[in-house]
Amino acid sequence: MIEVKEPKRIPLIGSLQGMYTVFKHLFKKPITVQYPEEKAYTPARFKFRIFLSMDDCVGCTLCEQVCPNLSIRMIVVERNNPHNKRNLYPQVNFGTCTVCRNCEEICPTEAIYLTHELETARTKNNFFYSPEELQKTESEVKK
Ligand code: SF4
Ligand code: SF4
């Protein structure tokens, strides 16, 4: 039978190690920020908030078709746009959007695009953005 040796336990070593770790971090700059007063760093390539140019949208529905989780739904908005005779424009649900950017890539007129803006939840009671709201900056979107 193989004899398993118990490791030697030195009293208080674990506690001292814990105290050392706490002490070491007491004098370091915190990595968390006081959001929303302080903004966290966002990488240059990060994108989230989708914008739409209704004048450029031709209502082709391609963005709706390529969205992998049905975050885009085409709705009718009556407006005078000779390029969009069916008056179909995308509405986006940011609650389910996974920022895959398929809609941006497929759009033939670059009417729909993602931006560096990342805050949406603070200004609305739901995550659905109508085509008109997708045209506005976040501060302009009705609360
Ligand atoms: S970024 Fe992707 S998930 Fe979000 S609305 Fe566009 S296609 Fe859908
Ligand atoms: S936003 Fe672009 S892809 Fe979507 S319906 Fe309009 S033109 Fe087509």
Q: pLDDT tens, 79-92? A: 999 999 999 999 99
Look at residues 67, 123, 134 and name the one whose alpha carbon lies nearest to residue 96: 67
* Cα Rg of the chain, angstroms: 25
For residues 101, 93, 40, 114, the Cα torsion angle rounded to the nearest 10 degrees is 30
CA 131 – CA 20 distance, rounded (Å): 55
CA 60 – CA 79 distance, rounded (Å): 16
CA angle 36, 38, 40 (to 5 degrees): 90
List phi, psi (to 5°) of 59: 70, 30
Residue nearest to atom 7 of ligand 1 (CA): 67
Mean residue pLDDT of the chain comes to: 90
Residue nearest to atom 6 of ligand 1 (CA): 103
pLDDT band at 13 (very low <50, low <70, confident <90, very high): confident
pLDDT tens, 14-52? 889 999 999 988 888 888 888 888 887 888 889 999 999
For residue 107, the ligand closest to its alpha carbon is 2
List phi, psi (to 5°) of 72: -110, 130
Residue nearest to atom 4 of ligand 2 (CA): 63
For residue 52, which atom of ligand 2 is closest to its CA? Answer: 1
Contacts of 60 (CB under 8 A, 6+ apart): 108
Site to substitute for ligand 1 among 65, 93, 103, 107, most atoms within 8 A of C-beta: 103
How far, in Å, from the CA of 106 to the mean position of ligand 2? 8
| pLDDT at residue 143 in the model | 57
